[in-house]
């Protein structure tokens, strides 16, 4: 086995937890290796899946349709138990868990099932003159055996959404859920074999040792959701087998607010995206850049909206979530103390994994909270003179997974879209673009590579194979040697 070092010292472990990495262990330790638990079953499982794939078990459209039906059925029949597990693991309200995890994954499987034949049909393309008579087409073929490494913050949707895409494309799949969301991991490991083809779809539970062993296997694609630090480890492991990867990472997604915005609507939409799942969302607004003219008014509107959403004591609100665990809580409190003034909120209760929805002002640009992805309910609000300053602020930092603009000024909107780079842009809205299967979801630069959702999931887990077919009744000899001056002249004109 090739040893892949997933260190668990303070810095890497902290980054792993911050971005929802699926393979981070609860306790600090050393470099992972095969030592410890018996890992032989992992190699056997991958080999068995490859045997099934090579035998053609996953290729038929009928098999794919059946498995997608079964996946949707599993989510429908067990929706209450799944939502309860997510609630217990992550601390998000039951309604949130049912919507974002259960309904989201079920919707993905249902749509892929409905449009599978259309999205995987051979596509005829033009044949160049020199290859005529003949016909050309592009076939969508499965890659083989796929590994999906899922995070804890949306432990069902971010696991089963890519799994559904891999199945729709005709692949065999290994799912590695996050052991940080242990209740959900156990539930998926128990339910999936009951509903799905165990010869072609497997769940491997465990922590760093199991993830390390999985990364030592040969896969045909690796789909990882988490942070950039572990994303680099995944790429390093994939390089040994020249395995393509999709990396769904994170970053600091900014909100740019200009004076033309609707303050009341903007505040609602910003805070809805920020405090959904208590801020533990890779595309949550990470900080706000507010034009000076409306800076004070925006702060007051944000404060009023927090009270409207969660009351004077959000800790008592059934609509407000919790931090995943004590380690995350401590990290967020360190960020809170790194600089700035608390304008609203700031209260915390580690025993309850609670941190109040918090607005921060006067935050230095070099403070830790402005350098690290927050991944929690802390929102710095930074004053800028104009949109040009906001654009410069964004461009001085790594490319974010999402960028949000609030305002009605077309010139400012277009300038932001043209002069910044991000995984996605949403205008007068946050987070909601994730739910659109028509839009590819993915990052750029340090926020990730590759994309999925809807048809884009099939594209990610497929190879577009070009095919040229020609008859034999017509076979002009001028393309064959020997080359005469007349042949050379004719050949120079073909194109």
Catalytic residues: 248, 282
φ, ψ (nearest 5 deg) of residue 137: -150, 165
Is the peptide bond preceding residue 482 cis, with omega within 30 degrees of 0?
A: yes
CB 420 within 8 A of CB 286: no
Give the angle 390-444-103 at the CA atoms, nearest 5°.
Answer: 100
Measured CA to CA, the distance from residue 478 to residue 409 in angstroms comes to 62
- Sequence-ordered alpha helix ranges (H) in 341-396: 368-371, 387-395
In 229-346, beta strands by DSSP E: 245-248, 253-257, 285-291, 341-344
Closest CA to 322 of 286, 352, 360, 282: 352
H or E element in which residue 441 lies: strand 441-442
Measured CA to CA, the distance from residue 87 to residue 89 in angstroms comes to 6
SS3 150: coil
Give the pair of three-digit tokens for residue 319. 């609509």
Measured CA to CA, the distance from residue 308 to residue 320 in angstroms comes to 12
């Amino acid at each position: 086995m090739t040893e892949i070092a997933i260190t668990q010292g303070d810095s890497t472990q902290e980054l792993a937890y911050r971005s929802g990495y699926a393979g981070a262990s609860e306790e600090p330790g050393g470099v992972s290796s095969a030592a410890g638990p018996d890992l032989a079953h992992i190699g056997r499982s991958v080999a068995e899946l490859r045997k099934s794939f090579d035998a053609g078990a996953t290729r038929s459209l009928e098999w794919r349709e059946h498995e997608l039906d079964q996946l949707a059925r599993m989510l429908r029949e067990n929706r209450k138990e799944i939502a309860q597990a997510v609630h217990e693991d992550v601390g998000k309200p039951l309604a949130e868990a049912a919507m974002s995890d259960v309904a989201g994954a079920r919707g993905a499987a249902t749509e892929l099932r409905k449009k599978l034949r259309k999205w995987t049909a051979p596509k005829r393309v033009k044949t160049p003159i020199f290859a005529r008579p003949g016909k050309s087409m592009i076939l969508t073929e499965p890659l083989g055996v796929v590994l999906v490494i899922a995070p804890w913050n949306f432990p069902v949707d971010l696991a089963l959404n890519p799994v559904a895409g891999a199945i729709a494309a005709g692949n065999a799949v290994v799912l590695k859920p996050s052991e940080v969301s242990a209740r959900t991991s156990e539930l998926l490991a128990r339910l999936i074999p009951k509903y799905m083809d165990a010869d072609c779809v497997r769940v491997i539970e465990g922590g760093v040792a199991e993830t390390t062993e999985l990364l030592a296997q040969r896969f045909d694609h690796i789909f990882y959701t988490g942070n950039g630090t572990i994303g680099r480890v995944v790429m390093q492991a994939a390089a040994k087998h020249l395995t393509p990867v999709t990396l769904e990472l994170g970053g600091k997604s900014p909100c740019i607010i200009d004076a033309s915005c609707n303050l009341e609507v903007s505040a609602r939409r910003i805070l809805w995206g920020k405090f959904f799942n208590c801020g533990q969302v890779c595309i949550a607004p990470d900080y706000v850049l507010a034009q000076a003219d409306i800076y004070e008014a925006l702060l007051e509107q944000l404060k009023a909206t927090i009270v409207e959403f969660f009351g004077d004591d959000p800790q008592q609100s059934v609509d407000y979530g919790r931090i995943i665990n004590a380690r995350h809580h401590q990290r967020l409190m360190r960020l809170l103390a790194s600089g700035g003034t608390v304008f609203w909120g700031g209260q915390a209760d580690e025993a309850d994994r609670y941190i109040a929805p918090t607005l921060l002002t006067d935050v230095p640009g070099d403070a830790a909270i402005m350098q690290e992805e927050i991944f929690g309910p802390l929102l710095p609000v930074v004053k800028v003179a104009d949109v040009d300053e906001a654009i410069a602020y964004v461009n001085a930092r790594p490319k974010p997974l999402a960028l949000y603009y609030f305002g009605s000024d077309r010139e400012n909107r277009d300038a932001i879209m043209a002069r910044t780079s991000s995984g996605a842009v949403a205008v007068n809205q946050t987070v909601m673009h994730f739910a659109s299967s028509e839009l590819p979801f993915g990052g750029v630069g340090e926020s990730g590579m590759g994309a999925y959702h809807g048809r884009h999931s099939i594209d990610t887990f497929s190879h577009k194979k070009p095919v040229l077919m020609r008859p034999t009744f017509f076979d002009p000899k001028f393309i064959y040697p020997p080359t005469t001056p007349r042949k050379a002249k004719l050949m120079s004109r073909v194109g």
